[in-house]
Chain A
């Protein structure tokens, strides 16, 4: 007995030390620190300018809410979804995250997102009715739109001028005009300036085209809402542009697409037109150094109906597993309804969804963002309706579209075969076979 005794204090000390280490380790990894400050993680995707803007916004929020600390967690679009999926699977999803139409259902239906309408401190009453319910699925608000966006054509007047070609009248132009114009620019500039960047890599453009035919990309029940002929016609136009030189050849297109908006033909000054979202106008204008203009899609006046639509640019969502939903709701409210946040973000997350906030910043928008705001208000009257929410698996369509487009551009598929393959792959990805 007695020889053991002297050792006890040492053992006790060791245990105490271990416990102390363990408890500090917990404090480091957990979201509550000792001073009562709640730590939240907020994740988004984007390019460098967005990262620095949002960090400034976070600083303002923290100054106004000393009891909350926001940790920014950001990456580019491509890695964002891999990272979000992995962290969600590990039960370590960010408290607040940016979501997107095509992924919202994937997370919402599987119980990973909180119902925003039930969170206190988050006022959803001022959101533009055009997108107010865009984040609702089966009566649950999984996301609230950060802003409004439209898919359109970006045109560089300087490139048109250099090629000696006039800008088209976008209220009347047809798809034939678009194709002929693109070829004309390439030819007139001796190939220095290409007419248009390939439009086939993003299914959002096809969605407009399908709507012009009285169809849609997805039907209300999540199945495909268009005919094979329509998609074939869509791919045929790209084939025509490849043949007549209106767009870069296949392998150049692959490199341009891989570079993202910063390396688009407009940003690089090597092309006259490209297809993008209106909130990307600011960034692309900056990298191009030219006064980029927005054009309506071709065929808006000649189709069965207009095809352009407003899209919720992104959603604010709160993780269902967040330990601090109330604080998270306060932050979302600050982002959605606060003028402080909007004055910095401007229209980078779409033209603000809160109509009061939108009115507040309109006068202070830089020229490019102002042009996109004006553009959106101009097309608003022509927009017929919104789109049904995309089905589960719609996130994979991005990649399928790229792959099928490549295969066609490299001559492995005809436009008909491309349409067939796209349909069968998307049906299998969205489980609507």
Chain B
């Protein structure tokens, strides 16, 4: 805004400074008004979307979480009953366990892999743009139905993985159809989509001033020292950003588990992710009230984790100056 005013005052002639300033000021507010109107105009579709597609359903689900809404018929307000049911719903607890394991195993692995590859690419590989795109590709595809179907085939009992293992004389299990392996298969799928955090790490690595490394080299610091004492501290804001984002994403994982398990969360509930159970309750069992309550619990869990992340960040994230 101040830039606008400054630009407006520049052509005023020094001969009549007062009058000139007054006139341009008036013209400035007129334009400002018009421009902010235009801005609101352009923002309107987004606000409309926010109200109708996000905020409306959000509030509706809060209301439904206190009812026995069944999707088809009428509903009654039943107070906290849905939330109370959560306390002794064994499948909910097992879904929480599966989801927590998934988040806590896959996110660190994914970030570590992303950082490692970003550092390799940062050394100035020939054809960097190509590699960057190739590694980024899984991130774009990872959440898609097609990849999940592919995954189911590749890790099937007769799938590609087992065919390769067979070459070495190893009889692989049915990776997605055995409760001991199904979740690991999905974790591998998530780790594989490391491209998005990798690109962000790559950008972060470019921001680290070369003089730090030069100074460290002069002092005789080896690669490990340089990584621990320069790269890591300088990257902490990026790590923090990726961590928050990937944790939120991982908690909401749905498509992969839905497709790979055929919507059941099986075998033996080993891939029953929280969102998958929510979906089953809402659309399979018509317990939309309970499903709404579950959605709010998930919101609180994710909110809690994000808050803890932000609080903890004070102790380990280093913002340069």
CA distance A85 to B282 in the complex (A): 10
The dominant DSSP class at the A interface is helix
Provide the B275-304 mask, 1 if CB < 8 A to any CB of A, else 0: 000001001111010000000000000000
Chain B contact patch, size range: 20 to 34
Q: How far is the CB of A265 from chain B (nearest CB, A)?
A: 13
B280 & A399 in contact (Cβ 8 Å cutoff)? yes
Q: How far is the CB of A259 from chain B (nearest CB, A)?
A: 9
A106 & B72 in contact (Cβ 8 Å cutoff)? yes
Q: Does B71 contact A (CB under 8 A)?
A: yes
Of chain A, the residue at the smallest CB distance from B156 is: A255
Q: How far is the CB of B25 from chain A (nearest CB, A)?
A: 27
A410 & B173 in contact (Cβ 8 Å cutoff)? no
Q: Does B309 contact A (CB under 8 A)?
A: no
Candidates B70, B174, B266; contact of A110 at CB < 8 Å = B70
Candidates A79, A252, A410; contact of B268 at CB < 8 Å = A410
Candidates A81, A252, A407; contact of B284 at CB < 8 Å = A81
Given A252-B157, A410-B179, A82–B268 Cβ distance below 8 Å? no
B178 & A250 in contact (Cβ 8 Å cutoff)? yes
Q: How far is the CB of A114 from chain B (nearest CB, A)?
A: 14
Q: Does B73 contact A (CB under 8 A)?
A: yes
Of chain A, the residue at the smallest CB distance from B279 is: A82
Residues in chain A near residue B157, CB distance under 8 A: 251-252, 255
B264 & A399 in contact (Cβ 8 Å cutoff)? yes
B267 & A111 in contact (Cβ 8 Å cutoff)? no
A251 & B173 in contact (Cβ 8 Å cutoff)? yes
Candidates A85, A393, A406; contact of B72 at CB < 8 Å = A85
A407 & B268 in contact (Cβ 8 Å cutoff)? yes
Candidates A79, A88, A258; contact of B71 at CB < 8 Å = A88
CA distance A397 to B177 in the complex (A): 21
Provide the A100-120 mask, 1 if CB < 8 A to any CB of B, else 0: 000000110111100000000
Of chain B, the residue at the smallest CB distance from A392 is: B286
Q: Does A78 contact B (CB under 8 A)?
A: yes
Q: How far is the CB of B247 from chain A (nearest CB, A)?
A: 28
Of chain B, the residue at the smallest CB distance from A258 is: B262
Q: Does A56 contact B (CB under 8 A)?
A: no
| Complex A-B: 22 CB contacts under 8 Å | A78-B263, A79-B263, A81-B284, A82-B284, A86-B71, A86-B283, A88-B72, A89-B71, A106-B286, A109-B73, A110-B73, A252-B157, A254-B267, A255-B156, A258-B177, A396-B285, A402-B264, A403-B266, A403-B268, A406-B268, A410-B179, A412-B268
Binding site for A on B (CB under 8 A): 70-73, 156-157, 173-174, 176-179, 262-264, 266-269, 280, 283-286, 288
Pick the 3 closest A-B CB pairs, nearest first.
A110-B73, A254-B177, A251-B174
Binding site for B on A (CB under 8 A): 78-79, 81-82, 85-86, 88-89, 106-107, 109-112, 250-252, 254-255, 258, 393, 395-396, 399, 402-403, 406-407, 410, 412, 429
Supplied contacts A406-B267, A410-B179, 15 more A-B pairs, CB within 8 Å: A81-B284, A85-B71, A86-B283, A89-B71, A89-B72, A109-B73, A111-B72, A251-B177, A251-B178, A252-B177, A254-B266, A255-B156, A402-B264, A403-B268, A406-B266
